[in-house]
Amino acid sequence: MTETSSPADADGPRDFIRDIIRDDLASGRARGVVTRFPPEPNGYLHIGHAKSICLNFGVANEFGGRCNLRFDDTNPAKEEQEFIDAIMADVRWLGFDWGGNLFHASDYFEQLYQWAEHLIENGLAYVDELTADEIREHRGTLTEPGKASPWRDRPSGESLDQFRRMRAGEFADGAKVLRAKIDMAHGNMNMRDPVLYRIVRKPHPRTGDAWCIYPTYDYAHGQSDALEHVTHSLCTLEFEDHRPLYDWLIEHLPVPSRPRQYEFARLNLGYTVLSKRRLTQLVAEGHVAGWDDPRMPTLTGLRRRGIPPETIRDFVARLGVTKQDSVVEFSLFEHCVREYLNKAAERRMAVLRPLKVVIENWPEGEVDELDAIDNPEFPESGSHKVPFSREIYIEQDDFMEDPPKKFFRLGPGREVRLRYAYFITCTEVVKDADGTVVELRATYDPATRGGDAPDGRKVKGTLHWVSAAHAVKAEVRLYDHLFREEAPGAGGRDYLEDLNPTSLEVIEDAWLEPSLAGWPAGRTLQFERLGYFCADRDGTADMPVFNRTMTLRDTWAKVQQSG
């Protein structure tokens, strides 16, 4: 955790959570701030989790407290070491450090067990021998009260004995559970004698086969918070009606501290899904290449896509923290990415759909080395050389044989600038038998070297290009939204029906300017006029692979669409 200046006020973020903390500190209800980020290791972290991570770690930093990373590993049926490792890597990548404060709910299994016995001894919990179905039937409905289990009032000594035998492994999975004894007629379903322990014979990633009974989330979470002296336990809205149970347990157990739970709205993002169930399904059924598929909203996917962690933090900061259900427009995320990358990303040139142009008045075999600025946002920061020769590639989109009035690019007889190079004029259009344009002939103006005409002549268009003889061939993967609907699955549809069939387009023969050979993975750059890209780990020395992180804003595309 990084040391921060003064206890948050003034410039820091403001929201209802921070207001509460400020009040708690001022009133002395809390002497410091301890939060926790409590992932269940049954999947990968996604951008929704980033909101929680930034909130929990952010708040702790701002108020000079600490934030624990705690794995909520209470269900070995679903949890795996792979996820534990990935989650830690992702939190670090996002830019947060839990220092030595790494915990697991499983660290507390023994204490939790002892406290369960305490509840039994005090007549506040009992071992129920109803089946899962019977328990459901007894629970009642939203509008009707539940019925007591026949085991509800059995002597605590009997429950204690049963519970110990559950631990000892005498019963089959699901045969019995430990339930809190609260109120079967409660309006809040969570208070109708919730299950505290169940029998699950599955090896646990951390405790192995030491246990065959495992605490439920409801039982483990608050007590873990208390053991860690968490002051503010921040979670999402769906846990709001678990709070009475959270408080009930804290009240009836000899816990060392009294944490409080506060709920905020989870993040929903347009054109994507952020539920673990769905993300897991996308991976399991092969709709994407894996958890780190660049189309996934997972942190590992975003990283592979070339999204810098700074942009995720910035994005989350702009969201605010409230209790309102909302769906954030994807464009806000795009804006954050572009704003950051515009400043941070170096520029290079690459041609995705090549159209050859032969500069007829350029001497055969001659090469010019031109200076290209690394990043025009900071012209002083450096430049690199780009070779120019007689045959170059430009983008097919940058030529039209019969251009409309608003088209600024190349056309028969038109003059344009080749970025950082020369003005060229198209003199001839070469077509194949089908009439498709296969090559252009052009002349260049030697006086325009570097891209300016000494006579003050202006051109409306500037094109990116690459020298055919020097270009490096590459595969480029163009990613688009994974879903074509802003709200996948809206209106009762299966969300899978909204999968975007063109979310990935692979270009196998793109041409890159030579300085891109060996470009390191993990350093996002801009292909001029096309967008931001990053090298993918699938690339080889012979065939680099680049992922499109994000396009540039494209007002020309809009002009075209609107006719």
Partner RNA sequence: UGGGGUGUGGUGUAAUUGGUAACACGACGGACUCUGACUCCGUUAUUCUAGGUUCAAGUCCUAGCACCCCAGCCA
Catalytic residue check, 266: yes
Q: Find the shortest distance in angstroms from Cβ 194 to RNA.
A: 7
Q: Please, which residue, 289 or 412, has the CB nearer to RNA? A: 412
- How many whole angstroms separate alpha carbon 366 and alpha carbon 389? 6
Q: Find the shortest distance in angstroms from Cβ 464 to RNA.
A: 7
Catalytic residue check, 40: yes
- How many whole angstroms separate alpha carbon 139 and alpha carbon 8? 45
Catalytic residue check, 121: no
Q: Find the shortest distance in angstroms from Cβ 343 to RNA.
A: 8
Q: Please, which residue, 150 or 174, has the CB nearer to RNA? A: 174
Alpha carbon distances (Å) from 162 to 109, 112, 129, 156, 420: 18, 17, 10, 10, 81
Cβ atoms of 234 and 262 closer than 8 Å: yes
Q: Please, which residue, 138 or 295, has the CB nearer to RNA? A: 138
Cβ atoms of 400 and 409 closer than 8 Å: yes
Q: At what angle do helices 47-62 and 81-94 cross, to 10 degrees?
A: 60
Q: Please, which residue, 32 or 145, has the CB nearer to RNA? A: 145
- How many whole angstroms separate alpha carbon 74 and alpha carbon 376? 52
Length of the chain: 563
Q: Please, which residue, 77 or 517, has the CB nearer to RNA? A: 77
Q: Please, which residue, 32 or 446, has the CB nearer to RNA? A: 446
- How many whole angstroms separate alpha carbon 171 and alpha carbon 161? 13
Mapping DSSP onto H, E and C, the string for 524-540 reads CEEECCCEEEEECCCCC
Q: Find the shortest distance in angstroms from Cβ 388 to RNA.
A: 12
β-pairing, 466-467 vs 391-395, is antiparallel
- How many whole angstroms separate alpha carbon 385 and alpha carbon 390? 17
Q: Please, which residue, 493 or 537, has the CB nearer to RNA? A: 493
Tokens at 127, concatenated: 């071992």
Write the DSSP string, 308-342. Answer: -HHHHHHHHHHH---S----B-HHHHHHHHHHHHH
Residue of 14, 22, 40, 78 marked catalytic: 40
Alpha carbon distances (Å) from 435 to 227, 307, 432, 439: 76, 41, 5, 11
DSSP state of 552: P
Q: Find the shortest distance in angstroms from Cβ 246 to RNA.
A: 11
Residue of 266, 278, 356, 385 marked catalytic: 266
Alpha carbon distances (Å) from 452 to 179, 370, 455, 506: 80, 13, 9, 36
- How many whole angstroms separate alpha carbon 393 and alpha carbon 441? 12
Tokens at 417, concatenated: 């600038």
Q: Please, which residue, 486 or 538, has the CB nearer to RNA? A: 486
Q: Please, which residue, 413 or 450, has the CB nearer to RNA? A: 450
Q: Find the shortest distance in angstroms from Cβ 560 to RNA.
A: 8
Residue of 276, 278, 441, 484 marked catalytic: 276
Q: Which residues contact 82 (CB under 8 A, 6 or more apart)?
A: none
Q: Find the shortest distance in angstroms from Cβ 340 to RNA.
A: 11
Nearest to 245 by CA among 191, 193, 196: 191
- How many whole angstroms separate alpha carbon 400 and alpha carbon 84? 54
Looking at the DSSP bridge assignments, the partners of residue 396 are none
Q: Where are the beta strands (DSSP E) in 57-98?
A: 66-71
Tokens at 99, concatenated: 């220092």
Q: Find the shortest distance in angstroms from Cβ 562 to RNA.
A: 7
Q: Find the shortest distance in angstroms from Cβ 471 to RNA.
A: 18
Which amino acids are annotated catalytic? 40, 266, 276
